[in-house]
Structure 1
Amino acid sequence: MQPLLAGLAGRPLPDLPGAPLLGNVRPAPGHTRIVPVRWQRYGVRAVDGAHSGYLGPAALADALAAVPPEWEECDVADLLTTAPV
């Protein structure tokens, strides 16, 4: 929520928290994907069944991970959260 509010107010964007993104997530060549994730012991893992146009996994998620095109398994992904980390 903070990045949205900062952008709307014209303030500098805060640094986003990050965590290792675990599991089999396919990056999109040339695009950043937004993937719903849940906290695990050593990072975050994509919510099962997540795909574009389906909001069920997003409703179950603890955060949304920004997955850049060059992402590889266990790389740290920036997180958009609704609660402080």
Structure 2
Amino acid sequence: IVVECDGTGNESDIEAWLASNGGATATDNCSDVTWTNDFNTLSNDCSTSITVIFTATDACGNTATTSATFAVQDSTAPVAPETPA
């Protein structure tokens, strides 16, 4: 996923992305699946990306992993204050 820089670390964007497991889904025939990930931190830099590994685990300890990338871009030009004429 690529999101626009919000100037405050894109915390709500990364939290929502992590909560959805980066868009991944998993099912198991015998039990529910729990998710974990290796996310640590996201730089407040407005041009950054991270790759996160998501792990799905069933009740018997079997796992499957996938990775996804979260990127922040800054494509909005700065706004200069108007000067009086």
TM-score by length of 2: 0.25
TM-score of the pair, normalised by structure 1: 0.25
Higher Cα radius of gyration: 2
